[in-house]
Amino acid sequence: MRFAVPRRRSYLLAAVPAAAGALLALACSASAAEGHLLYLPQEPAAVLHDGLRGGTLRQAPLRPNLRWPAAKVVGKVTGRELAGSGARRIEARLRAGWRQPGVGGLVGVDEITPKQWSPTASRTLRSALTRMGGDAERVIFYASPALVEQAGRADPRRRLPGRLRHLVDAISRGGATYLLTYRGDSSPFPAREMATHPTRWLERWPAAGGDLRIMLGPDEGAGQAELWSRVRSTSAGRELLSRGPAAYGLQNAADAREWLDQYRAFRATPTVSVTGSDFPVPEPGGLSLTALGPSRGSPSPAPGGPSSR
């Protein structure tokens, strides 16, 4: 299968108020491809920010901090409060989200959970983002574990079911979408799912969509080395990591240093699996296919398009 790699958009540039000046806009634009979003308490966030030499975003709410001026703080709304609203209401709520005090022009939607979104609601979300024009690039979506898993399990030979297809299409209209890689009990996806889900998502992601990225959370005893090894086990996982992973669920400085060590190890060898070979992702959909004969050949997969915390 070939990946449909999304067009990279410098959505951080859209977050910089004009009054901040050309130099600040240039700095934010340069960090767009490498920026890391930190959904963390202050202590681990500071360790990552300093270890990454700046250029990070921080998810609100947070106490004022010199490391994250307003231009580097992402506002927040919940997916639940948007679901079921009309397009004008959704647009107004998103715009209000990045205009909160101490926020610099971006808003995160935490989180998008399938059970809250009917096909009609998803189409309304798409309409709201279309109405916003270029300002839609200011919106960051967190794809809940249920959404990540349901889309990741779907048979890639077929289109996604309508309920998922419309939702994935809608969130692709934002500036960026982060795939959450853990389940409701905060346990990370097992090795097979960590290989399969990023692969299926990247295959289905619209070519003109916003940046598709990945969020790495707590390892729940598995260790950050094991967690990162699972993500790095496929070319899709490595591609998403190369865009700048987000961090969530790290509780202290020690956790953050482990995360940072693994990120540096990835940057040193970004194109290879830790084990030396990629995880064998089933193609297509985990089903066994039998060739029908030399004159007919084997069928080829056709692309189709997470539980909440």
Burial class (CB in 10 A: 0-12, 13-18, 19+), 56: buried
- 133 vs 8: which has the higher pLDDT: 133
pTM of the model: 0.82
Place of tokens 């060590």: 261
Residue 211 scores a pLDDT above 90 = yes
Residue 135 has pLDDT above 70, yes or no: yes
pLDDT in tens, 58-85: 999 999 899 999 999 999 999 999 999 9
Instruction: Give residue 55's Cα distance to chain centre.
Output: 18
Within-domain flag for 51: yes
For residue 264, the model assigns a pLDDT of 97
- Higher-confidence position of 289 and 204: 204
What percent of the chain is modeled with pLDDT above 70?
80
Give residue 285's pLDDT band: very low, low, confident or very high (50, 70, 90).
very low
Mean pLDDT of 154-161: 92
Q: Report if residue 235 sits inside a domain.
A: yes
pLDDT at 93: 98
Q: How far apart are CA 140 and CA 55, in angstroms?
A: 17
Q: Is 49 inside any structural domain?
A: yes
pLDDT of 154 reads 95
Domain assignment present for residue 298? The answer is: no
Question: Residue 303 above 80 pLDDT?
Answer: no
Assigned domain for 291 exists: no
For position 3, what pLDDT does the model report?
27
Instruction: Compute the mean pLDDT over every residue in the chain, rounded to the nearest whole number.
Output: 84
Q: Note whether residue 293 is domain-resident.
A: no
Q: What is the pLDDT of residue 139?
A: 97
At 64 the pLDDT is: 87
Least confident of 134-148, 171-185, 284-298: 284-298
Question: What is the domain range of residue 263?
Answer: 11-268
Q: How confident is the model at residue 284 (pLDDT cuts 50, 70, 90)?
A: low
In this predicted structure, what is the pLDDT of residue 184?
84
| Total number of domains constituting the chain | 1
pLDDT digits (tens, 9 = 90+) for 12-64: 333 333 333 333 333 333 223 347 999 999 999 999 999 999 999 999 999 98
Identify whether 307 is part of a domain: no
| pLDDT tier, 5 (very low <50, low <70, confident <90, very high otherwise) | very low
Residue 36 is assigned to a structural domain of this protein? yes
| Residue 246 pLDDT | 98
CATH of the domain at 68: 3.20.20
pLDDT for 26 equals 32
Give 184-195 pLDDT, tens digit per residue: 888 999 999 999
Q: Which pLDDT score is estimated for 248?
A: 96
